[in-house]
Amino acid sequence: MRTAIKKVIALIEAGDSDAAKQAYVQAVPVIDSAAGKGLIHANKAARHKSRLNQHIRKM
């Protein structure tokens, strides 16, 4: 999960909007899966997704 999040963040910092969107789409199910298995709380998963999406929309 952390790897998927880091990939999105790296692409956001690089300024590659299309690749960041694709990485975000791939990261969302990974984050949801971690929340479903109880590795992280559901609210933390929602917070990660929301913040990543905010950064992508600001690009």
pLDDT digits (tens, 9 = 90+) for 11-27: 999 999 999 999 999 99
Predicted pLDDT at 52? 97
At 10, the pLDDT band (50, 70, 90 cuts) reads very high
**pTM of the full structure:** 0.90
Give the tokens for residue 5. Answer: 């999040």
Residue 19 phi, psi (nearest 5): -65, -35
Measured CA to CA, the distance from residue 57 to residue 55 in angstroms comes to 5
pLDDT digits (tens, 9 = 90+) for 27-37: 999 999 999 99
Domains of the chain by residue range: 2-58
Predicted pLDDT at 54? 97
Q: Give the helix/strand (H/E) hosting 1.
A: none
